[in-house]
Amino acid sequence: MGDRGRLVIPADLRERTGLGEGTALILLETPGGLVLLTRPQLQELVRADLAGLDLVDELLAERHAAAAAADAA
C-alpha cells in the first residue's frame, strides 16, 4: 500500500485476472479479512447466495403473519 492509501496490484496478477485501467473494484470487509472483487464477481457471489430462495413467498408469509397478529390483537 502506498503512502496515499493506494493499493498496488502487480502487473502479472492484473493480466491474469483481466483487470485494466478504470476497472471498478469493490472492497469488502469480512470476518476473515478483506476481499477485493470486480462488480461482475460481486454480482455472481450475491446470485449464488440467493439461489434457491423464494424471497417473494417469504415476504408474503411475513406479511400474512403480521396481519394475523394485528387482527388477533
| For range 1-5, the mean pLDDT | 88
Do 24 and 38 contact (CB within 8 A), yes or no?
yes
Report pLDDT for 16: 94
CA dihedral of residues 32, 15, 47, 7 (deg, nearest 10): 40
- Which pLDDT band holds residue 4 (cuts at 50, 70, 90)? very high
- pTM, 2 dp: 0.59
Contacts of 26 (CB under 8 A, 6+ apart): 36, 37, 38, 39, 42
pLDDT score, position 13: 94
Among 49, 45, 47, 39, residue whose Cα is nearest residue 18: 39
For the chain, domain boundaries: 11-72
Tens digits of residue pLDDT in 7-50: 899 999 999 999 999 999 999 999 999 999 999 999 998 888 88
